[in-house]
């Protein structure tokens, strides 16, 4: 509050001889003079004095400034703002001091102004509002110190968290309340949601929920849906909020007739029909229309028409509730890329990002290729965030593509523990740098120590050697496996392998590898099969193998649609002690049952594999470790290598040279809130293994074994837990079954 008493009205027109500054303690007089617009020797004008007054206030350094005249000298009286000595927060139990300190601007030794104090108070209130504590109160207190210094204390009373007691919907005839509650991000208060903040009341998230609901309805047959703003009333005892969403669904539509028109003479719409994801009669799906437009524009681009715009025109037949859609392909603006600027890559080299771009400078600007480039850069895994947008270039038909990335820590030191039926208790430790020195090279050292397996391997891979479509890699490994319970011996493998891989197109990849491995079979238990005893000793394997993969799955980790086929051939015999050609062919088909059962989480996966091994040099026959083993992971219901040829007397598995397996598995969601990450599985596995060594006392029967059962996988906070319970239905007398398989691995 500036001091009372108006300054003596100074007449304009006199000449100022000198400027005197009074009341300044920390700031030098000539600093203040440098801000003044009236200098000694100027003619005094009152508006210039006012303007200097305003500039001095604008610096934020002064609490009060008054300019007066005594005769020919100009007197500037200032009262400086205090310096902050310490900032302290009090009463903040839920949010730590340094989180608050980051949000506030006032620091030690900075200048304190009333506006800054209010700004900081509001910043603290915003943090508490985001955590759902709307009742929080923040009281800034100033403690005067000597030499115009002051201590600033924010007294905070946090108040109760406002939780969401109940969410209900009005006007939803198409979908039940429980289904819609699963769609929105805000959840109702529940005991298992102690840790999560999804049940706290947050107005911005309610706006986001409105959008989620709108998109869900668009996807499921309601193009005219309107979602009203969520209304929230506080419960009488102020403990929680009741949220209500008003929904006006509008009629439910199915697809009418679908048509494609093309403005380009030599782009025949008929050839594009197979990109349609919408079919007459199906329920209306806004996303499918969007995906189809994108697929059509991609297809046109690839056919040499870079400037294509696809507009879906929807005409509603209201009586029959049918939406007829015409995809009109029209000529888009002819724009070329002038420059691609990449910024934010403080660690990754520019070429590592640029080689992922499907476009170069000077090419036609094509939104579909930009989207694909962004996905490829995101799949690199080096960046927290990647945004690509374009700004007008130097000519009307030129644009500058601006890619902005945010680097992420790509070095991982992982320490894991777990238990699995095959390996027993296991602990693994690994150092991995996915983006070594920003060059895109993936280097990894990994050691696993388990009851029945210990393994050390070092692997280095460069995904684009010399910026070419060629990935080069190398591994050095040492594996020690205790297979006494399975086949009565310990196996030790140490070796090196070189890998090279390339892709024909986005779906077909091929990779070659050469491995040189020394294998030693040792401490064979007495009483084990004589076919195992003869295998003791060390053998050298020198093998060239190739793998051809045709992958059309929508997402390799959590696949819902598509299929993958893999053909692998291993040729051993260029030197080394064993010579054979082993071929493996496996495939998996994923069918979404969303249309049948209405929930996208139902996925039927049908997979199968076939493997055959035949030697071609009688002097260097294949060893037991080279043969196929059936049971455990590839045939649930049976122990590891529990099915297939076996030495009846010593009950040791001998492996086989011909194997086929087939598995049908239905993945279904469990009636538990989706955020717990529980997925159920029901499966039937069939498999057969035959053609082992010849000799007496051996059970070798090619009849198929069948195992069926159910399983659950849980993405728990401490790691992925898999439990399978399976019963062997068709088996041989000498096979070894196993009902429960359990796998738990954590990595932190």
Bridge-based pairing of strands 18-22 and 73-80 is parallel
Q: Does 555 bind another protein (CB under 8 A)?
A: no
Q: Does 563 bind another protein (CB under 8 A)?
A: yes
The 368-387 site mask, x for binding another protein (CB under 8 A), equals ----------------x---
The 295-324 site mask, x for binding another protein (CB under 8 A), equals -------x-x-x------------------
Residue 256 structure tokens: 């009418």
Shortest distance in whole angstroms from residue 565 CB to another protein:
8
Shortest distance in whole angstroms from residue 197 CB to another protein:
22
- Taking the CA of residue 151 as centre, how many other CA atoms within 13 Å lie in the half-sphere pointing to its CB? 9
Residues present in the chain in total: 748
Question: Which of 37, 567, 591, 710 is the binder for another protein (CB under 8 A)?
Answer: 591
What are the two backbone dihedrals, phi and then psi, of residue 554, each rounded to the nearest 5 degrees?
Answer: -70, -35
Q: Which stretch binds another protein (CB under 8 A): 120-128, 184-192, 560-568, 610-618?
A: 560-568
3-state secondary structure 233-288: EECCCCCEEEEEEEEECCCCCEEEEEEEEECCCCCCHHHHHHHCCCCCCCECCHHH
Residue 65 structure tokens: 């400034």
Shortest distance in whole angstroms from residue 695 CB to another protein:
44
What is the chain's percent helix, strand, coil content, to nearest 5?
20, 45, 35
Q: Does 406 bind another protein (CB under 8 A)?
A: yes
Site for another protein in 175-204 (CB under 8 A): none
Site for another protein in 477-516 (CB under 8 A): 500, 502-508, 510
Site for another protein in 614-633 (CB under 8 A): none
Shortest distance in whole angstroms from residue 547 CB to another protein:
14
Shortest distance in whole angstroms from residue 90 CB to another protein:
9
Residue 261 structure tokens: 């028109």
Q: Does 397 bind another protein (CB under 8 A)?
A: yes
425 secondary structure, DSSP code: E
Q: Which stretch binds another protein (CB under 8 A): 206-214, 331-339, 478-486, 487-495?
A: 331-339
Are 491 and 518 a contacting pair, CB within 8 Å?
A: no
Question: Which of 23, 26, 182, 551 is the binder for another protein (CB under 8 A)?
Answer: 26
Site size with another protein, rule: CB under 8 A: 95
Q: Which is nearer to another protein, 409 or 676 (CB)?
A: 409
Q: Which is nearer to another protein, 108 or 139 (CB)?
A: 108
Shortest distance in whole angstroms from residue 680 CB to another protein:
19
What ranges make up the beta strands (E) of 422-470? 424-436, 441-450, 453-462
What are the two backbone dihedrals, phi and then psi, of residue 422, each rounded to the nearest 5 degrees?
Answer: -75, -40
Cα angle 268-274-280, degrees, rounded to a multiple of 5: 105
Burial class from Cβ neighbours inside 10 Å (0-12, 13-18, 19+) for residue 714 reads middle
Question: Which of 12, 18, 31, 226 is the binder for another protein (CB under 8 A)?
Answer: 31
Site for another protein in 332-361 (CB under 8 A): 334, 336, 338-339, 342-351, 354-355, 358, 360-361
Closest CA to 81 of 122, 133, 117: 117
**Torsion sign over Cα 571, 702, 629, 621:** negative
Residue 336 structure tokens: 């070329």
Shortest distance in whole angstroms from residue 629 CB to another protein:
31
Are 638 and 737 a contacting pair, CB within 8 Å?
A: yes
- Taking the CA of residue 209 as centre, how many other CA atoms within 13 Å lie in the half-sphere pointing to its CB? 28
Shortest distance in whole angstroms from residue 544 CB to another protein:
16
Shortest distance in whole angstroms from residue 350 CB to another protein:
6
Are 704 and 668 a contacting pair, CB within 8 Å?
A: no
Q: Which is nearer to another protein, 362 or 575 (CB)?
A: 362
Q: Does 364 bind another protein (CB under 8 A)?
A: yes
What are the two backbone dihedrals, phi and then psi, of residue 54, each rounded to the nearest 5 degrees?
Answer: -65, -40
Q: Which stretch binds another protein (CB under 8 A): 2-10, 85-93, 237-245, 672-680?
A: 85-93
The 36-55 site mask, x for binding another protein (CB under 8 A), equals --------------------
Site for another protein in 274-293 (CB under 8 A): 274, 277, 279, 281-283
Shortest distance in whole angstroms from residue 148 CB to another protein:
8
Q: Which is nearer to another protein, 110 or 451 (CB)?
A: 110
Closest CA to 163 of 126, 188, 127, 194: 188
Question: Cα dihedral angle (64, 69, 74, 77), rounded to 10 degrees?
Answer: -20
196 secondary structure, DSSP code: -
Question: Which of 22, 238, 273, 468 is the binder for another protein (CB under 8 A)?
Answer: 468
Site for another protein in 101-160 (CB under 8 A): 108-110, 143, 145, 147, 149, 151
Site for another protein in 415-454 (CB under 8 A): 433, 435-438
């Amino acid at each position: 509050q500036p001091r009372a008493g108006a300054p003596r009205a100074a007449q304009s027109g006199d000449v100022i001889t000198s400027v005197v500054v009074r009341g300044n303690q920390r700031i030098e007089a000539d600093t203040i003079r440098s801000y003044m617009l009236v200098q000694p020797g100027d003619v005094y004008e009152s508006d210039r004095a006012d303007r200097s007054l305003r500039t001095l206030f604008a610096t934020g350094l002064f609490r009060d400034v008054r300019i007066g005249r005594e005769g020919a000298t100009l007197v500037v009286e200032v009262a400086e703002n205090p310096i902050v000595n310490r900032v302290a927060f009090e009463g903040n139990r839920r949010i730590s001091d340094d989180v608050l300190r980051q949000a506030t601007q006032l620091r030690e030794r900075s200048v304190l102004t009333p506006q800054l104090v209010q700004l900081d108070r509001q910043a603290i209130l915003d943090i508490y509002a985001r955590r759902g504590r709307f009742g929080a109160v923040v009281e800034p207190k100033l403690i005067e110190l000597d030499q115009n210094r002051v201590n600033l204390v924010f007294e905070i009373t946090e108040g109760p968290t406002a939780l969401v007691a109940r969410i209900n919907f009005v006007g939803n005839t198409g979908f039940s309340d429980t289904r819609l509650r699963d769609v929105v991000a805000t959840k109702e208060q529940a005991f298992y949601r102690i840790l999560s903040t999804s049940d706290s009341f947050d107005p911005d998230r309610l706006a986001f929920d409105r959008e989620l609901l709108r998109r869900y309805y668009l996807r499921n047959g309601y193009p005219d849906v309107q979602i009203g703003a969520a209304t929230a009333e506080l419960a009488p005892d102020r403990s929680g909020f009741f949220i209500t969403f008003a929904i006006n669904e509008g009629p439910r539509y199915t697809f009418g007739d679908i048509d494609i028109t093309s403005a380009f003479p030599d782009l025949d719409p008929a050839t594009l029909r197979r990109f349609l994801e919408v079919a007459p009669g199906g329920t209306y799906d806004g996303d499918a229309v969007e995906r189809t437009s994108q697929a059509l524009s991609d297809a046109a681009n690839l056919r040499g028409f870079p400037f294509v715009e696809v507009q879906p025109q929807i005409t509603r037949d209201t009586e029959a509730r049918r939406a007829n859609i015409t995809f009109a392909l029209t000529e888009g603006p002819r724009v070329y890329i002038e420059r691609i600027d990449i910024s934010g890559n403080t660690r990754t080299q520019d070429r590592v990002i640029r080689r992922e771009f499907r476009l170069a400078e000077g090419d036609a600007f094509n939104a579909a290729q930009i989207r694909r480039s962004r996905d490829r850069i995101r799949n690199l895994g080096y960046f927290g965030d990647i945004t690509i947008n374009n700004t007008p270039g130097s000519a009307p038909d030129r644009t500058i593509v601006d890619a902005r990335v945010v680097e992420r820590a790509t070095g991982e030191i992982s320490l894991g523990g777990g238990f699995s039926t095959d390996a027993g208790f296991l602990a693994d430790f690994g150092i991995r740098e996915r983006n070594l020195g920003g060059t895109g090279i993936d280097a990894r050292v990994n050691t696993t120590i388990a009851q029945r397996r210990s393994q050390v391997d070092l692997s280095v891979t460069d995904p684009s050697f010399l910026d070419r479509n060629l990935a080069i890699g190398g591994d050095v490994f040492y594996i020690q496996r205790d297979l006494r319970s399975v086949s009565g011996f310990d196996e030790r493998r140490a070796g090196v392998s070189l890998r090279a891989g390339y892709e024909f197109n986005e779906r077909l990849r091929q990779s070659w590898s050469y491995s040189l491995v020394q294998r030693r079979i040792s401490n064979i238990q007495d009483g084990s099969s004589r076919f195992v005893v003869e295998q003791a000793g060390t053998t050298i394997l020198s093998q060239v193998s190739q793998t051809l993969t045709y992958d059309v799955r929508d997402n390799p980790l959590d696949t819902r649609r598509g299929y993958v086929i893999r053909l692998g051939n291993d040729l051993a015999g260029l030197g080394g002690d064993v010579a054979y050609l082993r071929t493996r062919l496996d495939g998996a088909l994923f069918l979404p049952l969303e249309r049948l059962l209405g929930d996208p989480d139902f996925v039927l996966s049908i997979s199968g594999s076939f493997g055959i091994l035949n030697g071609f040099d009688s002097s260097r026959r294949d060893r037991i470790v080279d043969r196929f083993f059936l049971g455990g992971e590839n045939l649930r219901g049976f122990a590891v290598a529990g099915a297939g040829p076996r030495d009846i007397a010593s009950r040791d598995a001998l492996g086989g040279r011909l194997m086929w397996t087939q598995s049908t598995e239905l993945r279904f969601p469990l009636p538990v809130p989706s955020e717990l990450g529980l997925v159920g599985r029901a499966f039937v596995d069939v498999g057969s293994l035959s053609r082992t060594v010849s000799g007496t006392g051996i059970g070798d029967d090619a009849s198929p074994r069948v195992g069926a059962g159910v399983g659950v996988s849980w993405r728990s906070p401490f790691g992925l837990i898999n439990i399978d319970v399976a019963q062997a239905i068709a088996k041989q007398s000498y096979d070894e079954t196993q009902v429960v398989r359990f796998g738990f691995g954590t990595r932190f």
